[in-house]
Each structure stands twice: as C-alpha cells, then as structure tokens.
C-alpha cells in the first residue's frame, strides 16, 4: 500500500453510500444532527446577550432622614437595581447576602444628613457579592453611576460644575460602530459550533464499527485505508455544511450581523475549516475503542478550547502569551479571524489566504496522522 493509499472512485462511492444509508435509515439521528446545532447556537446566542439587570439590592438606612431617603430613592428608581428589600438590622442584611438572596447591600450610616449639611464627608458602604467577579465589577460600576447621579442631581444643584478635563477624547469605532455585542458573539458561536459538532459526529463513525465488530468485514475487504477514512468523513462533512447554512442564515437574518465581504470567501474558509474539525473527530475515532470515550474526548478537545482560547471573548493579541500559544494550535482561531474579518471588516482574500492555507495544512496533517495511526488488521 502506498503512503497515501490508492483511491478507487467506485469503492469510495460505495463507502460513502453505505455510511449515508446508515444515517438516512436512522431518521431520528438525521433529524437531530440537522436540527440540534442551529438550535443550540440559538439558545447560546440569546443567552449570552443577557445583561446584568434587576439586581436584587438590600438597603439599610440607619439615618432615615430626608436626605438619606433621597439617596436610597436614587437606587430604587434605577433600572439596574431591584430593591424590594429594606432592612433595619445589619445582621439580617448580612445573612441575606450570605444566603444569596441579595447581590448587593447598601448601608447609609447614621448621621448621614447631619454630616453633609455641616459640610463634612459622609461615607456610604456598598457590599457586593463577589462570587462571580465579572458581575461584581459591573454591579459596582452601576452603583457608582447612581451615586454620581445623586451627587450631581441632588447635592450639587446650583453649584459650579467641576473643571472639565483638558484633553478631550474623540473615540471613533470602526467595523462595528455601535459596539453591538451580537456582531461579535454570533460569529464566535458559529466557529465554536462548527468545531464541536463536526468532530462529535465524525468521531463515532469508525469507533461504532469497532465496538460492534463490523469493522472486521472492512478489514478483510479490498478497501484501502484512504477510501475508508475519506468515505467515512465525507458524509459528516456534508451534514456539517448543511448545519453551516442554517447557522449562517440565523447569523444574517435572526441576529442581523451584516455581511460586509465576499460570501464565496466564507464558503471556502468554512469548507476547509469543517474538513479540519471532521478530521479531528476522525483521529479520535481511530485512536480509541469505545464510543463513550470518543464522545468525551471530542467534547474535551473541541468545546472548551474553541470557547476560551480562540479569541472568542478577548482578541488573542490582547491576552497572555500562553493563551496565545494554545490559541494558535486550534483551528477555530484561524476560522474566527476570517469569519469576523469578512463579516465586519469586509476584508478580502488578500488578508485571509494565509489563515485558509494554515487550516488546509492543519487538516492534511491531522488526516495524515489518523492515516498513520489506523491499523488495518485483524483482531
């Protein structure tokens, strides 16, 4: 057998047909394989767009004067905070924070009004649940905004405005002028889903036959390794491209992400990318002997890295070097660059051919490794 193995179109067609028949004769599986990825992407898309709102805030007003009530009212009237709870006792407030009935607590000290009227400085305390630091930061900055609002509207009325900063900054945002979050989240989801599902579907193809033993029939047939691997991979590549069409339609029409550049470029990049992610699944399928193991491995290898190390949330050029390094070995990183570039920056082939070439080489390497690892043998 030659290094790449010879390919007879007739036998390749037969393998593809067989795999396809197996898929088609399992209508539940086919329906799931076509529906699940776009549906999951939709749930993610809506879920990740959720903002911090209706934060349950407890207020303990130890002063209980006109001014302290005005201060508390600024928080009750804000959209961000939901203040159904007023407290009289520090311990009760503390306990409710501990029981996670509250996300934040505001304590207005005794003598608040007196201090302010005398020209002193009163200190209000805000306690924020820091369990999830990202949320705590947002809650804190919202509270500071409300506090600022109180200072300006209630206290500083009629006083001269503080001196304005001397350097004025004029920000200008390119490519995504309104900083719309869907424009950056949704392409990220397409990349993630197309890394996860193709690998997951392909990974069962060979290991399934290994587990049931039907692979022996193939071992002693004249089918070459290349024919088998390619024939097993192509049907799943097809399904994944169907998934892509659905997800891309959702991206453009449901999530209203603009398409700035060439559709053809996206299609080419996606085909190469999906080929690479199917190959990852194929490699796992060749290496392990049980379906459960293959599934778990595929999930671990594709899902988390594509979410956290592909530059999905923070551009790789603005993360630590180790993150950058891991990101560089994941195909999703390259694809996401192309996808976001073409959609939002309208960049063309000139910018993206290196990424597409990298993906192509990547796929061929993975494919070659699977080829090498796959032993066609009896027993």
Partner 1 sequence: MRTLALIKKEFLQFWRDPVLLVVVLWAFTFDVYLCARGFSLDIRGFPVAIYDMDRSQQSQSMIDHLHEPRFRQVKMISDPDEVDELLSTGQALMVVVIDNHFSRRLARGEPAEVQVILDGTNSSSTAQALGEVSAIFSQVSFSHTDSVNGSLRKTHLPVIMRSRIRFNENMESSWSVGLTELFGVITMVAILLPAAAMVREKEYGTIEQLLVSPLRSWQVTLSKIVPMTLLVVGFTTLSLLAVMGAAFGLYPKGSMGLFLVSTAIYVYACAGLGMLLSTLAKNLSQVILMLTTVLVPIMFLSGTWAPPEAMPPALRWFTHISPLSYYYELGTGIFFRGWGLKQGIESLFWLFILGGGMFVVGTTRVGREFS
Does position 299 bind partner 1 by CB under 8 A? yes
| Smallest distance, partner 1 to C-beta of residue 305, A | 7
Count the residues of the shown chain that bind partner 1, applying the rule CB under 8 A.
113
Is residue 164 within 8 Å of 153, Cβ to Cβ? no
| Smallest distance, partner 1 to C-beta of residue 9, A | 28
Does position 21 bind partner 1 by CB under 8 A? no
Does position 2 bind partner 1 by CB under 8 A? no
Q: Distance between CA 53 and CA 249 in Å, rounded?
A: 30
Closest CA to 226 of 373, 6, 1: 6
Q: At what angle do helices 181-212 and 27-48 cross, to 10 degrees?
A: 150
Task: From residue 296, give the alpha-carbon distance in Å to each of 38, 127, 208, 227, 332.
Answer: 21, 41, 14, 26, 19
Is residue 242 within 8 Å of 184, Cβ to Cβ? no
Contact stretch for partner 1 (CB under 8 A) within 31-39, 84-92, 224-232, 366-374:
31-39
Closest CA to 182 of 266, 263, 274, 250: 250
Q: Which is nearer to partner 1, 5 or 254 (CB)?
A: 254
Q: Which is nearer to partner 1, 151 or 364 (CB)?
A: 151
Q: Please select the residue that binds partner 1; options are 5, 18, 40, 85, rule is CB under 8 A.
A: 40
Q: Please select the residue that binds partner 1; options are 315, 325, 349, 357, rule is CB under 8 A.
A: 315
Q: Please select the residue that binds partner 1; options are 140, 149, 216, 376, rule is CB under 8 A.
A: 140
193 to 212, contacts with partner 1 by CB under 8 A?
A: 200-201, 204, 208, 211-212
Contact stretch for partner 1 (CB under 8 A) within 83-91, 167-175, 272-280, 366-374:
167-175
Q: Which is nearer to partner 1, 272 or 288 (CB)?
A: 288
Q: Please select the residue that binds partner 1; options are 20, 219, 351, 368, rule is CB under 8 A.
A: 351
Q: Map residue 289 onto helix, strand or coil.
A: coil
Does position 97 bind partner 1 by CB under 8 A? yes
b/e string for 107-123 if b means 16 or more Cβ within 10 A? bbeeebbebbeeeeebe
Is residue 235 within 8 Å of 202, Cβ to Cβ? no
Task: From residue 303, give the alpha-carbon distance in Å to each of 126, 273, 279, 362.
Answer: 38, 15, 15, 18
Does position 323 bind partner 1 by CB under 8 A? yes
Does position 252 bind partner 1 by CB under 8 A? no
Q: Please select the residue that binds partner 1; options are 1, 3, 50, 378, rule is CB under 8 A.
A: 50
Q: Please select the residue that binds partner 1; options are 25, 166, 375, 377, rule is CB under 8 A.
A: 166
306: DSSP letter: H
Contact stretch for partner 1 (CB under 8 A) within 21-29, 217-225, 274-282, 366-374:
21-29
At residue 105, φ and ψ (nearest 5 deg) are -135, 140
For residue 61, list its beta bridge partners. 108
At residue 23, φ and ψ (nearest 5 deg) are -70, -45
């Amino acid at each position: 057998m030659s290094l790449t193995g010879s390919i007879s179109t007739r036998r390749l067609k037969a393998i593809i047909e067989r795999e396809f028949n197996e898929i088609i004769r399992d209508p539940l599986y086919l329906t799931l394989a076509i529906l699940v990825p776009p549906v999951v992407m939709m749930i993610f898309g809506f879920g990740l767009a959720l903002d911090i709102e209706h934060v349950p805030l407890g207020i303990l007003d130890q002063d209980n004067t006109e001014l302290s009530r005005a201060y508390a009212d600024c928080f009750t009237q804000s959209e961000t905070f939901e203040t159904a709870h007023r407290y009289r006792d520090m311990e009760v407030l503390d306990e409710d924070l501990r029981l996670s009935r509250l996300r934040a607590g505001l304590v207005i000290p005794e003598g608040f009004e007196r201090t302010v009227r005398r020209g002193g400085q009163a200190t209000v305390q805000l306690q924020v649940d820091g369990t999830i630091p990202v949320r705590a930061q947002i809650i804190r900055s919202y509270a500071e905004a409300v506090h600022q609002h109180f200072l300006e509207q209630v206290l500083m009325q009629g006083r001269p405005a503080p001196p304005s900063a001397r350097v004025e900054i004029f920000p200008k945002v390119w490519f995504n002028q309104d900083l719309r979050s869907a424009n950056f989240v949704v392409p990220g989801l397409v990349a993630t889903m197309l890394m996860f599902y193709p690998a997951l579907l392909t990974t069962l193809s060979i290991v399934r036959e290994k587990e049931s033993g039907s692979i022996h029939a193939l071992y002693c047939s004249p089918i070459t390794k290349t024919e088998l691997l390619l024939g097993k991979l192509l049907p799943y590549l097809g399904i994944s491209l169907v998934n892509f069409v659905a997800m891309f339609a959702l991206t453009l029409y449901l999530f209203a992400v603009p398409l700035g550049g060439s559709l053809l470029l996206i299609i080419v990049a996606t085909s190469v990318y999906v080929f690479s992610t199917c190959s990852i699944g194929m490699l796992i399928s060749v290496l392990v002997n049980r379906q459960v193991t293959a599934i778990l491995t595929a999930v671990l290898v594709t899902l988390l890295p594509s979410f956290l190390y592909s530059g999905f949330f923070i551009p790789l050029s603005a993360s630590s070097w180790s993150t950058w390094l891991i990101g560089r070995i994941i195909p999703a990183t390259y694809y996401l660059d192309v996808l976001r570039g073409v959609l939002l920056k309208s960049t063309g082939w000139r910018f993206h051919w290196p990424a597409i070439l990298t993906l192509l080489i990547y796929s061929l390497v993975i494919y070659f490794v699977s080829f090498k690892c796959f032993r066609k043998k009896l027993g």
